[in-house]
């Protein structure tokens, strides 16, 4: 009943003056996890949202995932559904989370998706070019794990002990697997000595076979050339060697008292912000809605680069909006080492799971239609 009364008022206030909401930006309220609380948001640019994100919470562990899809949404959606269950399965079998468990979960997710691609190729050949970067984080027993495929990034905000000019410093915890890095380019070129065009510089960006990243889930045409030969032989340039990998980089570290928060985001965010700039935003502003503030800040930066206002960006339809920025998922995980009210509140709630919508535009259209029906009923 309260919602019924509130809805029309909210609708009226949003439409009278002020700034219109961004129909392609979604976020949740602050939620608790075992070591603090977290915030999650995502902005859609593609016609179908290609980036997925999720957080799983329990009294013993917190899992975080950001999956930056390309070529379509199928791979990122698949990882969003299958990676966490595999992690739980292997962790249960081996008595807890470990580097081996993470590697096995990534491998199992990759193999299952490749099997799906093989079955789908006759009716949907484009699925061979669908893939997803994969950024995973876990906190358990005061130990932090970060595993990464691709160029999504995890950045830690730490209390500065010796620096007087800034109370917080940024520490990158993941490795960007893209050919913008000279060492990665050399590695790829060394694997393909007979292909002078395996890595190219186009429009100010280094690419591998039209992609930025060299590690991902999917991208069968880069990894399993024998299975896609008939699809990619038109120019006589078959891929006889794999150009991509699903082997994650993994770091482990114990949480320290100086560790304040972690930012997980796709490259759509890091194209707009340096690590330090993102950390300063999270440190400076209140926790409530912080992921939304971070993602919205990235959109504002993207608008500035085009000499536009963010209000102008908000008027652009999905699909076309991809020319101005990427899909941008962002998650902020706060650490409260002494627990306090957040820990107590979470232990009462038990297990939790939060995932961003599969498609923000469809979600908002559904809400708008429901609101219109509600207004009609009130009238």
**By mean pLDDT, which of 185-194, 235-244, 259-268 is the weakest?**
235-244
CA distance linking residue 117 with residue 130, whole number of Å: 9
Write out pLDDT tens, residues 79-92: 999 999 999 999 99
Write out pLDDT tens, residues 301-325: 999 999 999 999 999 999 999 999 9
Instruction: Tell me phi and psi for residue 55, to 5 degrees.
Output: -140, 130
pLDDT of 118 over the 60 cut: yes
Please provide the average confidence, as pLDDT, over all residues in the chain.
80
- Domain membership flag for residue 297: yes
- The residues near 322 (Cβ < 8 Å, ≥ 6 apart) are 45, 46, 47
3-state helix, strand, coil in the chain (%, to 5): 40, 25, 35
pLDDT of 209 over the 70 cut: no
pLDDT of 345 over the 60 cut: no
CATH number of the domain where residue 112 is located: 3.60.40.10
Confidence grade of residue 183 (pLDDT, cut at 50, 70, 90): low
pLDDT of res. 270? 93
- Domain membership flag for residue 207: no
pLDDT of res. 79? 96
Read off the pLDDT of each residue in 122-128 and give the average, rounded to a whole number: 89
Contact call for residues 275 and 262 (beta carbons, < 8 A): no
- Domain membership flag for residue 205: no
Q: What is the domain range of residue 168?
A: 2-172+244-326+336-378
Site of tokens 């002494």: 338
- Domain membership flag for residue 316: yes
- The residues near 257 (Cβ < 8 Å, ≥ 6 apart) are 159, 337
- Domain membership flag for residue 177: no
Number of structural domains the chain divides into: 1
CA distance linking residue 274 with residue 101, whole number of Å: 32
Read off the pLDDT of each residue in 151-168 and give the average, rounded to a whole number: 87
Write out pLDDT tens, residues 222-260: 665 554 444 433 332 322 234 445 678 899 999 999 999
CA distance linking residue 354 with residue 31, whole number of Å: 9
- Domain membership flag for residue 371: yes
Its pTM stands at 0.81
- Domain membership flag for residue 72: yes
Most distant CA atoms of the chain, gap in Å: 72
Contact call for residues 39 and 331 (beta carbons, < 8 A): yes
pLDDT of 374 over the 60 cut: no
Confidence grade of residue 188 (pLDDT, cut at 50, 70, 90): low
Write out pLDDT tens, residues 8-38: 333 333 333 345 689 999 999 899 999 999 9
- Domain membership flag for residue 58: yes
């Amino acid at each position: 009943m309260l919602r019924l009364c509130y809805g029309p008022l909210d609708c009226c206030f949003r439409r009278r003056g002020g700034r219109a909401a961004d129909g392609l930006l979604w976020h949740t309220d602050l939620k608790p996890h075992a070591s603090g609380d977290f915030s999650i948001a995502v902005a859609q640019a593609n016609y179908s949202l290609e980036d997925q994100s999720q957080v799983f919470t329990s009294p013993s562990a917190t899992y975080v995932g950001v999956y930056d899809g390309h070529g379509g949404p199928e791979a990122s959606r698949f990882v969003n559904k299958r990676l966490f269950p595999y992690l739980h399965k292997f962790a249960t079998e081996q008595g807890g989370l470990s580097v081996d468990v993470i590697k096995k979960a990534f491998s199992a997710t990759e193999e299952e998706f490749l099997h799906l691609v093989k079955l789908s190729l006759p009716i949907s050949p484009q699925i061979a070019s669908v893939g997803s970067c994969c950024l995973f984080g876990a906190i358990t027993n005061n130990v932090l794990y970060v595993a990464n495929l691709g160029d999504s990034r995890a950045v830690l905000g730490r209390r500065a002990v010796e620096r007087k000019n800034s109370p917080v410093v940024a520490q990158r915890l993941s490795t960007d697997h893209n050919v913008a890095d000279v060492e990665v380019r050399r590695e790829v070129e060394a694997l393909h000595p007979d292909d002078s065009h395996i890595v190219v510089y186009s429009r100010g960006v280094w690419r591998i076979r039209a992609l930025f990243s060299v590690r991902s889930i999917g991208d069968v045409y880069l990894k399993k050339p024998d299975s896609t030969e008939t699809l990619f032989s038109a120019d006589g340039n078959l891929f006889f060697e794999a150009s991509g990998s699903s082997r994650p980089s993994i770091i482990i570290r114990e949480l320290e008292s100086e560790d304040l928060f972690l930012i997980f985001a796709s490259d759509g965010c890091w194209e707009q912000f340096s690590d330090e700039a993102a950390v300063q935003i999270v440190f400076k502003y209140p926790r409530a809605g912080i992921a939304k503030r971070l993602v919205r800040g990235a959109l504002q930066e993207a608008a500035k680069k085009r000499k536009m206002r963010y209000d102008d960006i908000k008027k652009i339809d999905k699909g076309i909006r991809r020319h101005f920025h990427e899909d941008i998922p962002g998650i902020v995980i706060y650490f409260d080492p002494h627990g306090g009210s957040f820990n107590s509140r979470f232990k009462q709630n038990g297990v939790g799971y939060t995932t961003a919508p599969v498609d923000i535009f469809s979600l908002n259209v559904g809400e708008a239609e429901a609101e219109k029906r509600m207004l009609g009923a009130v009238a």
